[in-house]
Chains A and B, each alone.
Chain A
């Protein structure tokens, strides 16, 4: 009952005209980001950080959250219409969404995707509403060893779950930690690795690195790939009605996707993408028509598209209740909180309840807005897709560079944006996922603070970390993951040897 009252108070905050307008702008930008394949959620939020300086903090955060969950709504549009995922989380939607489009059912696929996103997004939000406050309450008992354990296990799980090589992801995360050590050490006040350059004293700005890795990196990728312009079908509003059979086959996958997405979203890593793949596999296994998968099965659109939206709400739980971001987009959202002087974490709910509940309530409103806005505007989005990338990308490049400059009014920052842009482009070419680097950069200071303060508290006894029940539970989870990785690696190696011996 208490939660309901607080949520109602949150609604009263989120329906203030300025906040409502921010929500509408956020979800619209988010949908556009999802629709346009060359622009990523992380870089879009990073790009818009300077625009929020003059805004009220609640309105700014409502807008950023809107971009985050809105982008997952729009991601399916290009997957269904042109077989190009607008977002990584919509890759799997191409498998059945595009074949549906080829059969003339693009409208139905888009409608099912939007309705599924709404239903699962609401499931995720209910989970967020119920879980975030008790977790924040529990986190008040966390000391430095617990925070260290959480950050460490978060990084271990992240390396396992990025979808690329575990080794590469782990290396990226460690490089992120290394970058976080550059600048003034908050514990001792000593400048580290700055080589007398004053500009480096403040360390690397998260948004600068994100704009480089994701923004300029994406621009370089888009501009150096010569892709043929795809044929985009025209979708009219009347085409959006699914048939009775399509409805019946979609309802259960939507709810199942919502639950799967929420559970996966609680884990570190690109939860939206992983949950969509898990949901697709699950739907294929549960379906009465598994042979239709890959040829336009509606369950293959309903399940994954629902899962990725539910996962988004779940990823907000560790950010808002613990202050720890476990994926690239929440890391950049944290940056948004920080520039407005707000530290997410256990104290947020007690010190700024209006912001905490206002943000959650705005997500419910945004979810409804997305459903209302998205379906009638499908035609507009289709037209937008026809914008040539050779016009769009140079404009995005100038906005990114100007946005990066405006953060500290520094040309030095632009040099870093370009450097990280080139690095991001090259890394993606050779299969390194840049997200763990961003997470490492964010979690690095937390990890260092937790480790050094924890060791001081425990008088240098590293084993004392394990005797603390909470830290021990978290650390054992990390140990299980490492052990599992090791056993899998040894088994694979043995199997390879056996195969070679047989041959």
Chain B
């Protein structure tokens, strides 16, 4: 099912891209302009994604996929979004500490002291490495 949804998204994406590509001049064969390749690429993507969808509906294949813990996936996603949101507000060190600790708990790391200690040491080490050694202007 996910495969069909993704292929459908590619089809919609290709159509949208092709529509937007019309904003740029195509030019002529002896003088191609900025819309030349986008149009060709858009048409190719449209053809390929249509063919893929046709194949998926015509020939049904069942593949054995490893089970995924979707609840964990959702929690990691929430964590990533939360990290982006707080990064500029509370600063790199605090945000990374909170994010690390959150991920450790999502990844079923037992206890509180060890995850807290690794989160603190990890975020401090990364802060020192990037901020002092690599001179990155961290938020």
Which chain A residues have a beta carbon within 8 Å of chain B's beta carbons? 50-51, 53-54, 167-168, 170-171, 174-175, 177-178, 181, 185, 187-188, 190, 192-193, 216, 220, 223-226, 388-391, 393-395, 397-399, 401-402, 405-406, 409, 411, 414-415, 418, 421-422, 425-427, 429-432, 444, 447-448, 451-452, 455-456, 459-462
Question: Does the CB pair A224–B126 fall under 8 Å?
Answer: no
User: Which A residues touch B17, using CB under 8 A?
Assistant: 178, 193
Asked if B12 is an interface residue, CB under 8 A from chain A, the answer is: no
Q: How far is the CB of A181 from chain B (nearest CB, A)?
A: 5
Are B136 and A171 in touch, CB under 8 angstroms? no
B138, A405: Cβ atoms under 8 Å?
Answer: yes
Instruction: Indicate if the CB atoms of B41 and A459 lie closer than 8 Å.
Output: no
CB nearest to A459 among chain B residues: B30
Q: Is the CB of A220 within 8 A of B3?
A: no
> Contact at B72–A178, with CB atoms within 8 Å?
no
Give 9 closest A-B pairs by Cβ, nearest first: A460-B30, A460-B29, A394-B103, A390-B107, A430-B3, A406-B136, A171-B48, A452-B32, A448-B37
Chain B residues contacting A448 (CB-CB under 8 Å) are 36-37
Which among B37, B80, B123 has the greatest number of chain A C-beta atoms within 10 A?
Answer: B37
Q: In whole angstroms, how far apart are the Cα atoms of A192 and B137 in the complex?
A: 30
Q: A429-B2, A430-B6 are in contact. Are A53 and B30 (CB under 8 A)?
A: no
A271 to chain B, nearest CB (A): 24
Known: A171-B49, A181-B41, A456-B31. A398 touches B100 (CB 8 A): yes
Residue interface mask B58-73, A partner, CB < 8 A = 1 = 0000010111111011
Of chain B, the residue at the smallest CB distance from A52 is B134
What separation, in Å, do the CA atoms of A440 and B77 have in the docked complex?
A: 27
Cβ contacts B19-41/A at 8 Å (1 or 0 each): 01000100011111110111001
Q: What would be 23 A-B contacts, judged by CB atoms less than 8 Å apart?
A: A54-B134, A54-B135, A171-B49, A177-B37, A177-B41, A181-B37, A190-B24, A192-B38, A224-B70, A390-B107, A394-B99, A394-B103, A395-B122, A399-B126, A406-B130, A406-B136, A426-B2, A426-B6, A432-B6, A444-B37, A452-B37, A455-B30, A462-B29
Question: Do the beta carbons of B122 and A390 come within 8 Å of each other?
Answer: no
Q: How many residues of B contact A (CB 8 A)?
A: 65
Q: Is the CB of B42 within 8 A of A178?
A: yes
Contact B118 A391 (CB under 8 A): yes
Q: Is the CB of B37 within 8 A of A171?
A: no
| Chain A proximity of B19: nearest CB distance (Å) | 11
Besides A171-B49, A174-B44, A452-B37, 20 new A-B residue pairs in contact (Cβ under 8 A), listed by A number: A50-B134, A188-B33, A193-B38, A390-B107, A391-B118, A394-B99, A394-B104, A395-B122, A397-B103, A399-B126, A402-B96, A411-B87, A418-B84, A430-B3, A431-B3, A444-B41, A452-B32, A456-B31, A459-B30, A460-B28
**A residues within 8 A CB of B83?**
401
Q: Give the docked Cα–Cα distance between A411 and B80 (Å).
A: 12
- Mask of B102-135 contacts with A, CB within 8 angstroms, 1/0: 0110111100000000100011001000100011
B36: min CB distance to chain A, Å:
6
Return the chain A residue nearest B10 by Cβ.
A171
> Is there contact, CB below 8 Å, between A422 and B77?
yes
Distance in angstroms from B50 CB to nearest chain A CB is: 10
Output the least CB separation between B78 and chain A (Å): 12
CA distance A124 to B119 in the complex (A): 43
A394–B91 Cα distance when bound, in Å, is 18
Most chain A Cβ neighbours within 10 Å, of B6, B36, B63: B6
Residue of B nearest to A460 (CB): B30
Q: Bound state CA distance, A451 and B80, in angstroms?
A: 40
Report the minimum CB–CB distance from A211 to chain B (whole Å). Answer: 13
Chain B residue with the shortest CB-CB distance to A193: B20
Is the C-beta of B15 less than 8 angstroms from some C-beta in chain A?
Answer: no
What chain A residues lie within 8 Å of B33 (beta carbons)? 188
Task: Please tell me if the beta carbons of B24 and A224 are within 8 angstroms of each other in the complex.
Answer: no
B45 contacts the other chain (CB 8 A): yes
Asked whether A414 lies within 8 Å of B100 as measured between CB atoms, the reply is: no
Taking a contact as CB atoms under 8 Å apart, the answer to whether B73 and A220 are in contact is yes
B136 near A405: Cβ-Cβ < 8 Å:
yes
- B94 at the binding interface (Cβ < 8 Å): no
Contact A175:B45 (CB < 8 A) given known A398-B99, A451-B32, A452-B36 = yes
- Output the nearest chain B residue to A397 by Cβ-Cβ distance: B103
Given the complex of chains A and B, what is the CA–CA distance between A37 and B99 in angstroms? 23
**Distance in Å: Cβ of B54 to nearest Cβ of chain A:** 10
- Does residue B90 face the partner (Cβ distance < 8 Å to A)? no
With A225-B66, A422-B77 as given contacts, are A167 and B55 in contact (CB-CB < 8 Å)?
yes
Taking CB atoms, residues of chain B closer than 8 Å to A54 are 134-135
